[in-house]
Amino acid sequence: MRLIIPIEFYRHGGVERVIISLIREFSTKIDKIIIVLSSNQIKYFQSLLPESEVIVYETFSLDNNSIEAKFHGFYNKLFSLSNKFKLTKISEKLSKFERQYLLESRLNQLIQKYQATHCLYVLTNNLTPPRLYIPLGMISHDVFWHFSPLSYTDNYIRKYDDNLLQWLKTVNIVFTVSEQTRQNILSLFPQFEYKIKTILNASNFYLNNCVSEKNNQIYFYFPSSFGIYKDQLTLLKAGIKLAQKGLNFKIVLTGKETDSFIQGKLSLSQQFSTQEYRQYLTECQQVYQENKAIIEQYFLGLGYGSEESVETWYHHSDCVVIPSQYEGFGLALSEAIVRGLPVICSDLEVFEEQVDLYKGSDRVTFFETGNVDSLANNMEQFILNPKPKLSPPEIEQRFSHWTWKQVAESYLELFK
């Protein structure tokens, strides 16, 4: 198999870890991987992926001497004329058509150049599916615009629905990262059941060689970007309750904006247009103002961190806490389980899927989503009676049946 992976955009964090983990494993199992990126992203991806003759990097720019590039030059003249005569609607249509033409032309050039046999899109939101001469697949990570705890406008929802429908009509296969995500899509577009397959994400055990200086203080850890989906606010409130009881612990947060969250300096994100998010932000700031001293003593917000720093905190922590209100998958749970860490998490169906997959019910404690008292009680019980971490041999024995190796093999088998 020769697989082309266009990455028109990507996100730091969990989705990026999924992309990198899949490509690493693909590179050990197939003949060639062609990763298509913007030129300023190539070095970054090269730093994350192993050096390999299998992996090649290409940009979205057309070969200068190609017929497509010459047609692009003619197209630019039409576009300039439409702008000159202020034909706004025509200019917009030409611009949209041109972007899609350039993308499809470039991908088909690369398919020919490398004799690629399959194409996989790892992120598709707001992108137009390309028309290619080889099988096309997509990964769907979530259906947030319908099932997250935010009320988006009808126009916003319609835009995302139309885009998803366009992809469902075009691709040969859809990979969902959880059965819950698959069911969410089918509730909207049941006619595509035959082409939607679930492959749960995984995590490989990572043995950090850092020596941890332990004392009687319990470290809780939540690696995730700040947001209403992730619900750091419920964790903040639960931590304040525990601090008021004089318990000895610290809560460590890594991920985008978690440093600002702990300092009470939050800014509006892409979710700002929803009333729920604005209210959530106001409540975060109010809780910070009323409990500043406690938060500074018991919480550590580190902001976005490298993969190495995330792993270091997994190693130093006693328990991973995941208070999310919504997840398409929730990678932190799998990562915690296969690192031998006990987990306290909200009772989302996607989390229950992972616990069933790893047969880890003895390692995971569920609390009612959004319930501060329930979370605080479970954390208090852990502080008073902590569960030990599992040793590497125990982890290998219990959880090696589902790693990124098995995930990648499942993708390739279905793709073939």
Regarding whether 88 and 19 lie in a shared domain, the answer is: yes
First CA to last CA across the chain, in angstroms?
8
Tokens of 66: 């190609």
Residue range 308-321: mean pLDDT, rounded: 93
Whole-number Cα distances in Å, 116 to 33, 62, 241, 416: 9, 17, 57, 13
Question: For position 36, which CATH number holds?
Answer: 3.40.50.2000
pLDDT tens-digit series, residues 214-267: 568 999 999 999 888 999 999 999 999 999 999 999 999 999 889 988 888 877
Do residues 227 and 362 both lie within one domain?
A: yes
Residue 118: is its pLDDT beyond 80?
yes
**Do 230 and 194 share a structural domain?**
no
| Joined tokens for residue 134 | 């080889």
Residue 186's domain comprises 2-203+405-415
* Number of domains observed in the structure of the chain: 2
Secondary structure (H, E, C), 346-387: ECCHHHHHHHHHHCCCCCEEEECCCCHHHHHHHHHHHHHCCC
Assess contact for 56 and 32: CB atoms under 8 A: yes
Element (H, E) at 34: strand 32-37
The helix (run of H) or strand (run of E) holding residue 252 is strand 249-254
Residues 100 and 163 in one domain: yes
d(CA 201, CA 402): 9
Is residue 123 in a domain?
yes
Mean pLDDT of the chain: 89
Question: What distance lies between CA 104 and its chain's CA centroid?
Answer: 26
CA distance 90 to 249: 62
What strands, in cross-sheet order, belong to the sheet with 343-346? Answer: 299-301, 249-254, 218-223, 319-322, 343-346, 364-367
Instruction: Identify whether residues 134 and 256 lie together within a single domain.
Output: no
pLDDT at 211: 44
Going 357 to 362 to 368 to 370, the CA torsion angle's sign is negative
Residue 71 confidence (pLDDT) above 90:
no
Residue 124: alpha-carbon gap to chain centroid: 13
Return all residues near 360 (Cβ < 8 A) that are at least 6 apart: 337, 354, 398, 399
The reported pLDDT for the residue numbered 81 is 52
